[in-house]
């Protein structure tokens, strides 16, 4: 009986099936955590979504920016971009089943027994654990309410880029969602730089650094698992902060972390 956290799959279904074989995944006894970005860019997004939906009773999923983009497109608030590979999902006969399930997934998952928290991009240094869980819950409640369309209509944007408890309305929701799904670099007080997309380069002159390099407000032994940042190649140099996006869709590998003992497993990507 084990719990495995798996990084960004992005439609790489074959590597996923190989990874599950490697860890000898047993649906009856093991649990899988998925760090978001299940779909997009890769070739088999529909297969990935159907599979995770089919094992949903053994899975914990948090939403990533690509998952939210799919939901926004499906609801008519955004267009497919050139690099998007989401058409197979949008045209599938079971799309409503899959998308209705997807939108009900949270932005953050915390397991008290393991004392591990997961979100797609991480937990910013400006939030303590109860605050992060409460803000994730607040945005989740909005997404499963009739306000979701109002949100998707204004989801895309980098502002506000600095968390303040006083934020209200959709600015507040966009900020919460950006911290949980798009954060890479921030300043000490939590101000985000969402323009530095893929690299590991921080504009240190301005005081920006990777979010996990600032002192955390989380309890000391609480571990964080996150995806989203393939350029890190799975490394943060922090014992309790685990980067799981190892760039499968970019030709690298797909990674699972066994949460009970910290052992990593990975399978190479065979796509070009």
Residue among 169 and 201 whose Cβ is closer to Mn ion = 201
Tokens of 228: 């989203």
Q: Which residues bind Mn ion (CB under 5 A)?
A: 37, 64-65, 228
Q: Which is nearer to Mn ion, 37 or 161 (CB)?
A: 37
Minimum Å gap between C-beta 142 and Mn ion is 20
Joined tokens for residue 25: 């995944």
Please compute Rg for the chain using Cα positions: 17
Rounded Cα–Cα distance for residues 114 and 93 (Å): 38
Q: How many residues are there in the chain?
A: 272
From CA 228, how far away is CA 28, in angstroms rounded?
29
Closer to Mn ion at the Cβ: 65 or 105? 65
Closest contact distance (angstroms) between CB of 64 and Mn ion is 4
Residue 134's contacts (CB-CB under 8 Å, 6 or more residues apart) are none
Q: Which lies closer to Mn ion via its Cβ, residue 174 or residue 228?
A: 228
- Beta carbon nearer to Mn ion, 7 or 125: 7
CB of 126 to Mn ion, least distance (A): 20
Beta carbon of residue 198, minimum distance to Mn ion (angstroms, whole number): 11
Q: Which residue is nearest to Mn ion (CB)?
A: 228
Q: Please report how close the Cβ of residue 228 comes to Mn ion at its closest, in angstroms.
A: 4
User: In 3D, which of 261, 267, 215, 256 has the Cα closest to residue 238?
Assistant: 215
């Amino acid at each position: 009986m084990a719990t495995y956290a798996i990084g960004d799959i992005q439609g790489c279904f074959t590597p996923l099936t190989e990874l599950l074989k490697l860890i000898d995944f047993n649906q009856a006894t093991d649990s899988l955590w998925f760090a978001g970005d299940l779909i997009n860019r890769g070739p088999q997004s529909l297969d990935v979504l159907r599979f995770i939906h089919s094992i949903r009773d053994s899975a914990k999923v948090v939403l990533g920016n690509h998952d939210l983009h799919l939901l926004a497109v499906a609801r008519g608030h955004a267009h497919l971009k050139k690099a998007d590979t989401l058409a197979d999902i949008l045209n599938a006969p079971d799309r409503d089943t899959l998308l209705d399930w997807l939108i009900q997934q949270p932005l953050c998952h915390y397991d008290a027994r393991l004392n591990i928290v997961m979100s797609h991009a991480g937990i910013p240094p400006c939030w303590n654990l109860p605050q992060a869980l409460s803000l994730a819950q607040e945005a989740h409640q909005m997404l499963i309410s009739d306000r979701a369309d109002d949100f998707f209509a204004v989801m895309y944007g980098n502002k506000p880029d600095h968390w303040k408890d006083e934020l209200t309305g959709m600015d507040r929701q966009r900020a919460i969602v950006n911290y949980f799904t798009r954060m890479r670099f921030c300043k000490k007080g939590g101000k985000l730089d969402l323009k530095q997309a893929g690299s590991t380069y921080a504009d240190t002159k301005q005081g920006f650094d990777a979010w996990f390099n600032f002192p955390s407000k989380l309890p000391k032994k609480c571990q964080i698992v996150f995806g989203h940042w393939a350029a890190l190649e799975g490394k943060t140099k922090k014992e309790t902060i685990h980067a799981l996006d190892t760039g499968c869709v970019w030709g690298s590998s797909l990674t699972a972390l066994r949460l009970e003992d910290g052992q990593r497993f990975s399978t190479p990507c065979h796509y070009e």
